[in-house]
Structure 1
Amino acid sequence: MFDLIPFEHRNAGLFDFFNHFDDDFFNSTQNSFAPCRTDIRDEGNQYVLEAELPGFSKEEINVNVENDCMTLTAQHKEDSEQKDNAGNYIRRERRMNSLSRSFDISGINTEKITASFENGVLTMHMPKNEETKPLPKQITIQ
């Protein structure tokens, strides 16, 4: 059974109040960052994985399967520049976002995995392998 564990434990001491005052504003390292928020549902004969990838386009996302491991990677590059009339830079910024996430997909029929990307959410339907039941066998007595 899973226990509910908070992301961060804070003591409610009198002098502890201002220690965390600027955490949200400065994006403190105490706040945990998930590469992409992922929900996985068991729908009986398949799993449905939904990964939130805001800011990425479909062309920037790759899903690779090797053995029993599925790896989701996404990479986004953005360049913006402003020049004056003489062609000198007034401002030039470069930004790159990338993420990688791996999943154990043992028990999944990898040949039938389907994926779609809409409104920043990658949805993957991953059918389970069919259980092979041993056939009844008659044993002859000698």
Structure 2
Amino acid sequence: MFDLIPFEHRNAGLFDFFNHFDDDFFNSVENNFSPCRTDIRDEGSKYVLEAELPGFQKEEIAINVENDCLTLAAQHKDENEQKDKAGNYIRRERRMSGMSRSFDVSGIDTAKISASFENGILTMDLPKKEEAKQLPKQIPIQ
């Protein structure tokens, strides 16, 4: 594993070049929008990943691991409707927001990953795989 480096997902279209025409010449990663801010700490035997997910509930968050790729996704659906006495809509608004991030977890023991969610912060413990120690091998001389 080359540490926990998030994969970049960008939707680049034919006219995407012009969308960034006015950006700074020395545009840095900090200037780009990130779907959710994450902090990753190396605590020796494990990594601790903290992701900011303000406005989401625990039930709206999904964490999946497949082929050494951990995907964190959250989706929020909000509906607001006002009706008159006859039940006809006066106003009806719908809003849906979501985000997704993926991380390389090739050096993580995925069976032991644990997660908790409190006050808009998702905290995940990602235990490192234990390296198999090779025992000394006696080679017979012929």
- Bigger shift: residues 54-63 or 82-91: 82-91
Q: Structure 2 counterpart of 1:9, which letter?
A: D
Distance in 1, matches of 2:87 and 2:132, equals 69
- Matches of 2:62 and 2:118, distance apart in 1: 15
Higher mean alpha-carbon deviation, 72-81 vs 31-40, is at 31-40
Q: How does 1:1-142 map to 2 (within 5 A)?
A: 9=24, 32-142=32-142
Aligned counterpart, 2:10: none
Identity %: 74
Runs of 4+ residues over 6 Å off in structure 1: none
TM-score by length of 2: 0.75
Distance in 1 separating the partners of 2:121 and 2:87: 40
Q: Distance in 1 between matches of 2:139 and 2:87?
A: 88
* 2:18 alignment partner in structure 1: none
Count residues in correspondence: 116
Give CA deviations for 1:58-111 in whole Å, capped at 9, x if unaligned.
111111101110111111100011223343433321100011111000110000
TM-score by structure 1 length?
A: 0.75
The CA distance in 1 between the partners of 2:86 and 2:110, in whole Å, is: 56
C-alpha offsets along residues 33-61 of structure 1, whole Å, 9 cap, x if unaligned?
21110111100000000111111111111
Query: What is the alpha-carbon root mean square deviation over aligned residues?
Result: 1.8
Separation in 2, partners of 1:125, 1:67: 19
The aligned counterpart of 1:19 is: none
Structure 1 runs not aligned, ≥5 long:
1-7, 11-30
Gaps of 5+ in 2: 1-22, 26-30
How far 1:139 sits from its partner (Å)?
A: 1.7
- Structure with the larger RCO, 1 or 2 (CA within 8 Å, 6+ apart): 2
| Larger Cα-atom Rg | 1
